[in-house]
Structure formats: structure tokens, C-alpha cells
Chain A
Amino acid sequence: MKESLLDILRCPLDKHELELEDATYDESVDGDSDDGEDAAEVVDGTLVCSECGERYPIEDGIPNLLPPDMQEESPA
């Protein structure tokens, strides 16, 4: 995910802002071009709710913002 996506993502439970922790960036993406640092591509890390502390993983560059009770891989 682009780091700038953080601007529009919120905790699905309480709609508070999320903070990025333990981020790993894709070195092949030049974060200094056009959009500045916002273009930086985050491939791994955790999004943490600034209010309730709930944690959401970034997996293969895709943030998983399902509520905790829906997080498991199974469709059921």
C-alpha cells in the first residue's frame, strides 16, 4: 500500500485514525519522486488504532482492515 492511503483509512470499529508500525518499504519504489514521501510503498507492517489499540496487519502490501471477528482466512 502507498503510505498516503493512511490518510483515508480508519479503524473499522471506532473510525479513529491509524498509525503505521514496524513498516517495511519496497526499496524499488522511489519515494522521493512526484508525490514525495507519500508515494512510498509499504509492503509489510501493522496499522494500529490510535484510540482502541486494535491492530491490523499489512499482508503482501495489502492492509487487512476487517474487524477482528472477521479476520480469519475462511469465508464462513
Chain B
Amino acid sequence: MDLRDQRGIETEVYQPAEDSELLAEAACGYLDKHGRDGPEATILEVGTGSGYVANRVADETAARVIASDLNPHAVRQARSDGSEEGSGRGGAVETVRADLVSPFADDTFDAVLFNPPYLPTEPENEWDDWMEHALSGGEDGRAVIDPFLAAVGRVLAPDGVVYLLVSSLTGVDEVVERAGEEGFSAVAIADESFPFETLTVLELHY
């Protein structure tokens, strides 16, 4: 019996945890504060996983919310409503199966949210399934964050912002520096400490 059977749940999709909650809370608060929560606003969540964060934003703002993920199981769950059971109401979030921001038009989003895979993982410990994709950030924890930072500017509207969750395990300073190389200024808008890591939400803007 494998872990999936023991837990009796879907383990192909990362389920909401403290990091998801922190990102959802911080992003909703700041979207409201900066008037990016109206019906004209278009918001993207990259790597949405269960869809929890995207659905929270859709519930708490009037914005149009798009959610994308590489994982077909994730986009299906995000589309149903973000819960494992699915409430059947569905439809608040528009979903796309995508690699980061590659299939979106230039200058489109007022905000892009991302809770990336960030755990530093030695190559010999990579385990090669959808959960690994959801968690592992490669050797330095930034294997997905760096290409995201390089690409996200293209799809941001003028005055658009990025809300990026970063862990102390990945290195907040390193991510801020990398973002700076791509032309972004970074401000920490929320953080929360846990026994093994501190989670920070960065707001990035040009």
C-alpha cells in the first residue's frame, strides 16, 4: 500500500497549506488596497495546484481570475472550485494548462500570483512525479522561480504587480536580487515563521 492509498486522497495535486493561506491573505489584502480588485482587473495565478489561492481571489474580489498549471490533475481540480471534493458550483476561475506564463498575451495582467515549487532538492533525491514538480525547486530551490522572474514582465500590464511566495529555505535575499536583475523592486508584504522555515510574500513591481 503506498502513501496515496494510506491517506485515501489524491496525491497528484499539492493541497493548500500554510504557504497557500499566507499568499491568498496577503494578495487579497493588497489587491484591495491598490484598487486591483475591480471587475476590470485581470489576475493570473501561475502553478495554481488545487486552485485554492485563485478561488480565494475570485471569491474576495470582483476581478477576472485565470489559473494555470502544468499538471492536468491540478487544472481540473482548480476548475471545479479548488477543493478536493468539488462543490459542483465550479466556474469562478478560468483555467489553462500552461508552462508558467508562456501562452498569455503581453501586457495582460494587473497582478500575477505564484506560490512556486521551492524546496532545494539534490538531483539524486528527485522523485519524478507530479508532486515533485509541485515541491522541488532543484538544487538551489530556484529552478522554477528564476525562469518565472525572467518571463513574467512580458505579461504584466503597466503598473502590474507580482505576488511571489518565498521561503527562507530558498533564500529571500537571493530571490530579491534575482528579481532586481530583471528590473523589479521587491517589498515584503507579509511573513510568517514556522519551525523549519519562514515564509515571505514579496510584492514585485517595475
Instruction: State the A residues within 8 Å of B (CB).
Output: 1-2, 5, 7-12, 15, 56, 59-67, 70, 73, 75-76
Q: Which residues of B have CB within 8 Å of A10?
A: 103-105
| B133–A12 CB distance below 8 A | no
Check B28 for interface membership: any CB of A closer than 8 A: no
Q: Which residues of B have CB within 8 Å of A56?
A: 103
Check B180 for interface membership: any CB of A closer than 8 A: no
Chain B residue, CB-CB nearest to A10: B105
Q: Which residues of A have CB within 8 Å of B105?
A: 7-10, 15
Other CB < 8 Å A-B pairs besides A62-B95, A67-B99, A75-B130, 16 of them?
A: A8-B42, A8-B66, A8-B105, A9-B104, A10-B104, A10-B105, A12-B98, A12-B103, A15-B105, A56-B103, A61-B79, A62-B75, A63-B96, A63-B97, A65-B103, A70-B99
State in angstroms the CA–CA spacing of A68 and B100 once bound together.
15
State in angstroms the CA–CA spacing of A59 and B71 once bound together.
13
State in angstroms the CA–CA spacing of A28 and B70 once bound together.
29
State in angstroms the CA–CA spacing of A63 and B76 once bound together.
11
| B71–A75 CB distance below 8 A | yes
Check B132 for interface membership: any CB of A closer than 8 A: yes
With A7-B105, A15-B106, A75-B130 as given contacts, are A66 and B70 in contact (CB-CB < 8 Å)? Answer: yes
State in angstroms the CA–CA spacing of A76 and B96 once bound together.
20
B132's contact among A5, A63, A67, A75, by CB below 8 Å, is which?
A75
Q: Which residues of B have CB within 8 Å of A59?
A: 72
Check B102 for interface membership: any CB of A closer than 8 A: yes
Check B108 for interface membership: any CB of A closer than 8 A: yes
Check B159 for interface membership: any CB of A closer than 8 A: no
Question: Using an 8 Å CB-CB cutoff, how does the interface string of B71-104 with A read, 1 for contact, 0 for none?
Answer: 1100110010000000000000011111100111
